[in-house]
């Protein structure tokens, strides 16, 4: 199998961490690309042109990070999507919250990257930052739910916090969310996290 990623992409990082945590990494060839450069042929793999995408041995390519993660979970020996019951909904809620941070943060970054003349869309940026701070507040109040066996929820939260540190380092989130910060310090020791650090 081949996993297309870019080192800076937090969505691709979710899939790369999932590959390691499910025990599937050895079966996957990692292919680093620059999605914004639209590499030749990549839209045949993922017509949306984004990373990550997984070229499978047993079917057409899969894309969208959560779909790729769920496939790796299904194939791997170690499960990161709890099968059913309250633990599953907790993990999926954390995944949705973390994706909310990523979607808002990436939108803000894209506005910066593509801005041409005229005023920046400050209203748009303020709204994204409100979403980020609201999600961080919720995660802080539910930090106990981030303990226990590794799940896709924990992985996604680690990717979201890591992305804030990577691209928004000037906006401190730790002071107002000390419990989340402490959880992140401990979780970030995992090999899957250090190996996929965009700044490593
Ligand atoms: N919802 C998608 C988002 C993926 C995404 O936005 N990837 C970015 C990199 S962080 C990308 O490839 N952007 C290139 C583009 O938008 O054309 C997922 O979860 O996989």
Domain count across the chain: 2
Burial class (CB in 10 A: 0-12, 13-18, 19+), 69: buried
**pLDDT tens, the chain, 200 aa long:** 999 999 999 999 999 999 999 999 999 999 999 999 999 999 999 999 999 999 999 999 999 999 999 999 999 999 999 999 999 999 999 999 999 999 999 999 998 888 888 888 999 999 999 999 999 999 999 999 999 999 999 999 999 999 999 999 999 999 999 999 999 999 999 999 999 999 98
Query: Is the whole-model pTM more than 0.95?
Result: yes
How many angstroms is it from 189 CA to the middle of ligand 1?
26
Residue 183, domain extent: 86-194
Q: Say if residue 21 is in the same domain as residue 93.
A: no
State whether 59 and 91 are in the same domain. Answer: no
Element housing 63 (H / E): strand 62-63
Q: Are residues 68 and 110 in the same domain?
A: no
Q: Are residues 179 and 150 in the same domain?
A: yes
Q: How far is the CA of 16 from the centre of ligand 1 (A)?
A: 14
Residue 164 lies in a domain: yes
Atom of ligand 1 nearest to the CA of 64: 20
Pick from 166, 36, 16: nearest CA to 105: 166
Same domain (yes/no): 57, 92: no
How far does residue 175's CA lie from ligand 1's centre (Å)?
29
């Amino acid at each position: 199998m081949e996993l297309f990623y870019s080192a800076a992409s937090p969505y691709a990082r979710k899939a790369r961490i999932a590959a390691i945590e499910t025990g599937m990494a050895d079966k996957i060839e990692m292919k680093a690309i620059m999605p914004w450069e639209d590499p030749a042929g990549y839209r045949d793999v993922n017509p949306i042109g984004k990373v990550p995408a997984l070229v499978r041995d047993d079917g057409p390519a899969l894309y969208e990070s959560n779909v790729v993660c769920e496939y790796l979970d299904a194939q791997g020996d170690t499960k990161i999507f709890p099968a059913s019951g309250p633990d599953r909904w907790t993990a999926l809620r954390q995944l949705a919250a973390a994706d909310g941070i990523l979607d808002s943060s990436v939108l803000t970054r894209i506005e910066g990257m593509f801005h041409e003349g005229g005023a920046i869309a400050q209203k748009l940026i303020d709204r994204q930052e409100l979403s980020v701070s609201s999600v961080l507040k919720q995660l802080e109040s539910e930090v106990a739910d981030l303990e226990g066996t590794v799940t896709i929820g924990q992985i996604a939260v680690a990717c979201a916090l890591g992305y804030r540190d990577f691209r928004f380092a000037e906006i401190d989130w730790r002071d107002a969310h000390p419990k989340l910060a402490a959880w992140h310090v401990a979780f970030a020791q995992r090999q899957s996290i250090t190996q996929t650090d965009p700044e490593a």
